């Protein structure tokens, strides 16, 4: 009964695992994987000598760290705000609005960001002009992009994130709050001393799980929102977009395979480490 | 005497209503601001799609159309072949993909949930390991294009996504909560494994299957990745990929060559057409998803808090 599912995984997940040998070959499409020549570590020698590797690794890590921290603050913050609203209809309305970007594909988000950011007639430059400021050529100014990507990422994912923390808040025993109010604690104190401490385990777990994925970037965000603009690569090119380009645009299969294997191996190690940490914090939440 | 006594408490009450609710009012002020900011990109795109092309170039994107015009939508309606086809491809892939994925994943999850199945642990690990390690893009790409020859087929748009390990484990967790007695008594009555799965497990699991099904629909509907890699033939462009193609190259707006010739010679509202396309693509689906939002919320809390 489970055979079809196992077969799908065998073909689409396990066969490619053996395909990592391509990284050690001079792959020629007409020869196939088996008949292409072994070239040992040549692809990696080339890779480690080029400046690309440090750029895409640094970008992937720093942007993901930025996303993890900002995402955590925004999700918890929004959940705290939503949790305090007394009018239930209002809570639902706000939640619907902040949740809606979750349903939008990155392609369409690319349209949204273009409408806001394009240099000639985008909304933001129009706004800057009205304020008497100089318009900014966003799509050729890499220095702004870590922040643009961070805000886009928050916009897209904070609805999802806040749901998790809201659910966590529902699990907190109301008696703590009643006791705190009797002692004259105000809202801020209640949040500081009751709500947040109760959410710490979830925060730790979510962060550790995210760290396990820190070597993988959200391809759609980096490809569509930046419009794959080469002027922005210095701050926006990440491992996933680089591998895609090496494979599809430059047809540099050796390089793409080498970077891909590098990502798989380091990524695997990071998942194991983060899982080991999760297990120490809360065995029930560890993956294995 | 009595009146003054009454007046004082009321005025105090009024003041205290404001001061008591100042926190709530501030809260709403913040959340309304956040909500408006969240909706701005959507509003800008909708308004651009309804703006006159020249006015859009001159006045820029705004929250409201600077000069109302339905020209972009009229242009699209002139030859909607490609859009309808892409909607069709996406709808087909989503329908087949979701049904197939639910079938395959629930069967697999059921097997893994059965405590009396000898290979339960190794098979669970087999599924699980794919969440930890993957071969990467290049081997997958070569396998699918060179060996499986799936490029430019409908198959490639859903086969690689049929088994999402995370969903399999969520289903397995759910199946584990079903009372064992049902299955055992059915077995004693001589029901086959398939019969137990079809007549007992599936009917008891509709809430879980519906939730996972929704996430599958979202996954297939919004996918552009598989098309980006494996589809070159415009006839097979799914909706999301068509949008991407249009942003890069306006030719895809029109499938018949006469209209394409017209596109290149006559001044065409390219900017507004693109925005109108985005609106058409978001429209009905986003509303459907929003209507089903609470099921997604339930699914997230299921995965976020009880996932194991």
Q: What are the structural domain ranges in chain B?
A: 25-69, 73-306
A248 pLDDT more than 50: yes
Residue B303: what pLDDT?
Answer: 59
Query: What does the pLDDT look like over A145-169, one tens digit per residue?
Result: 999 999 999 999 999 999 999 988 9
Distance from CA of B85 to the nearest CA of A (A): 18
DSSP B81-150: HHHHHHHHHHHHHHHHHHHHHHHHHHHHHHHHH-TT-TTHHHHHHHHHHHHH----HHHHHHIIIIIS--
Q: Which 37-56 residues of chain A touch chain B by CB within 8 A? A: none
Name the residue among B30, B240, B308 with its Cβ closest to that of A284.
B308
Over residues A192-204, mean pLDDT: 91
Whether residues B139 and A224 touch (CB distance < 8 A) is answered with no
Half-sphere exposure of A17 (CA within 13 A, CB side): 15
Q: Quick check: helix, strand or coil at residue A37?
A: strand
Count Cβ–Cβ pairs < 8 Å, chain A vs chain B.
257
Q: Which of A214, A174, A114, A200 is nearest to B272 (CA)?
A: A114
Out of A108-112, A253-257, B254-258, pick the least confident: B254-258
Q: So what's the ipTM on this one? A: 0.90
Whether A111 sits inside 8 A of B141 (CB atoms) is no
The class of domain A35-285 in CATH terms is: mainly alpha
- Can you give the pLDDT at residue B89? 96
Q: Is the CB of residue A115 less than 8 Å from the CB of residue B48?
A: yes
Closest chain A CA to residue B41: A112
Q: Does A215 touch chain B (CB under 8 A)?
A: no
The owner of tokens 């629930």 is: B106
Question: Helices B239-248 & B270-291, crossing angle to 10 degrees?
Answer: 160
The model's pTM is 0.89
Mean pLDDT throughout A210-232?
A: 92
Strand, coil or helix: A26 = strand
Binary contact (A243, B168; C-beta < 8 A): no
A27 touches chain B (CB under 8 A): yes
Distance from the first to the final alpha carbon of chain A: 25
List of chain A residues whose C-beta atoms are within 8 Å of the C-beta of residue B42: 100, 112
Contact between A23 and A261 under an 8 Å Cβ cutoff? The reply is yes
Q: Is the pLDDT of residue A126 over 70?
A: yes
- Could you tell me if A285 lies within 8 Å of chain B, comparing CB atoms? yes
Q: What interhelical angle do A196-212 and A52-84 show, nearest 10?
A: 150
Task: Give the DSSP per-residue string, A46-108.
Answer: HHHHSTHHHHHHHHHHHHHHHHHHHHHHHHHHHHHHHHH---HHHHHHHHHHHHGGGGS-HHH
Helix (H, G, I), strand (E, B) or coil at A38: strand
Secondary structure class of B68 (helix, strand, coil): strand
A66-84: string of b/e by CB count within 10 Å (b at 16+)?
A: ebbebbbebbbebbbbbbb
Mean pLDDT of A176-180: 92
Which residue does chain B place closest to A282, by CA atoms? B308
Asked if B305 and A167 come within 8 Å (Cβ–Cβ), the reply is yes
**Class of the CATH-defined domain B73-306:** mainly alpha
Q: What is the pLDDT of residue B189?
A: 87
Classify residue B163 as left (phi > 0), alpha (psi -120 to 50) or beta.
beta
What are the pLDDT digits (tens) for A8-57? 999 999 999 988 888 888 888 777 777 788 888 888 888 888 888 999 99
Residues lower than pLDDT 70 in chain B? 1-15, 250-267, 303-308
- pLDDT for the residue numbered B1: 41
With a CB-CB cutoff of 8 Å, which residues 128-187 of chain A face chain B? 155, 160, 163-164, 167-168, 187
Scanning every residue of chain B, which has its alpha carbon at the shortest distance from the alpha carbon of A83? B27
The pLDDT confidence band at residue A223, using thresholds 50, 70 and 90, is very high
The whole-angstrom separation of Cα B277 and Cα B105 is 34
């Amino acid at each position: 009964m489970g055979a079809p599912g196992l077969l799908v995984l065998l073909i689409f997940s396990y066969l490619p695992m053996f395909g990592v040998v391509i990284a050690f070959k001079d792959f020629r499409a007409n020869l196939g994987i088996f008949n292409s020549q072994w070239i040992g570590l040549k692809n990696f020698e080339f890779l480690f000598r080029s400046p690309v590797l440090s750029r895409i690794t640094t970008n992937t890590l720093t942007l993901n760290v930025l996303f993890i921290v900002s995402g955590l603050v925004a999700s918890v913050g929004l959940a705290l705000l939503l949790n305090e609203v007394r009018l239930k209809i209002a809570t639902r309305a706000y939640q619907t609005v902040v949740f809606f970007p979750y349903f939008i594909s990155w392609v369409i988000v690319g349209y949204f960001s273009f409408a806001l950011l394009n240099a000639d007639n985008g909304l933001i430059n129009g706004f800057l002009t009205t304020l008497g400021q100089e318009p900014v050529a966003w799509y050729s100014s890499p220095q702004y992009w870590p922040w643009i990507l961070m805000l886009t990422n928050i916009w897209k994912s904070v609805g999802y994130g806040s749901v998790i923390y809201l659910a966590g808040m529902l699990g907190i025993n109301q008696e703590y709050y009643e006791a705190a109010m009797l002692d004259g604690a105000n809202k801020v104190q209640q949040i500081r001393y009751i709500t947040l401490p109760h959410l710490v385990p979830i925060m730790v777990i979510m962060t550790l799980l995210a760290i396990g994925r820190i070597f993988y970037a959200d391809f759609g965000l980096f490809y569509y929102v930046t419009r794959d603009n080469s002027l922005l690569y210095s701050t926006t090119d990440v491992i996933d977009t680089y591998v895609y380009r090496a494979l599809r645009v430059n047809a540099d299969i050796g390089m793409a395979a080498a970077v891909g294997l590098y990502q798989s191996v380091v990524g695997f190690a990071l998942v194991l480490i983060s899982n080991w940490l999760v297990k120490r914090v809360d065995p029930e939440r560890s993956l294995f | 005497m009595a009146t003054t006594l009454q007046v004082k408490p009321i005025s105090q009450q009024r003041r205290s209503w404001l001061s008591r609710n100042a926190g709530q009012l501030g809260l709403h002020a913040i959340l309304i601001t956040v909500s408006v900011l969240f909706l701005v990109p959507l509003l800008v795109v909708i308004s651009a799609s309804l703006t006159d092309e020249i006015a859009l170039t001159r006045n820029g994107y705004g929250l409201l159309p600077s000069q109302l015009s339905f020209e972009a939508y009229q242009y699209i309606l002139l030859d909607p072949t490609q859009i309808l086809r892409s909607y069709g491809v996406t709808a087909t892939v989503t329908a087949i993909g979701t049904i197939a994925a639910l079938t395959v994943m629930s069967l697999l999850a059921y097997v893994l949930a059965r405590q009396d199945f000898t290979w339960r642990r190794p098979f669970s690990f087999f599924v699980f390991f794919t969440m930890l390690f993957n071969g990467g893009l290049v081997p997958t790409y070569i396998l699918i294009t060179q060996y499986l020859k799936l490029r430019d087929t409908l198959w490639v748009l859903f086969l690689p996504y049929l088994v999402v390990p995370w969903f399999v484990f969520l289903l397995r967790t759910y199946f584990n909560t079903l009372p064992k007695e049902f299955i055992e008594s059915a077995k004693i009555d001589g029901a086959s494994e398939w019969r137990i799965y079809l007549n007992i497990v599936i009917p008891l699991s509709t809430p879980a299957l519906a939730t996972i099904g929704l996430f599958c629909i979202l996954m297939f509907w919004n996918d552009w990745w598989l098309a980006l890699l494996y589809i070159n033939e415009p006839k097979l462009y799914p909706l999301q990929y068509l949008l991407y193609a249009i942003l890069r190259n306006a030719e895809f707006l029109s499938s018949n060559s006469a209209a394409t010739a017209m596109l290149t010679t006559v001044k065409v509202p390219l900017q507004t057409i693109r925005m109108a396309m985005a609106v058409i693509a978001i429209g009905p689906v986003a509303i459907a998803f929003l209507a089903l939002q609470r099921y997604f919320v339930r699914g997230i809390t299921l995965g976020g808090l009880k996932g194991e």
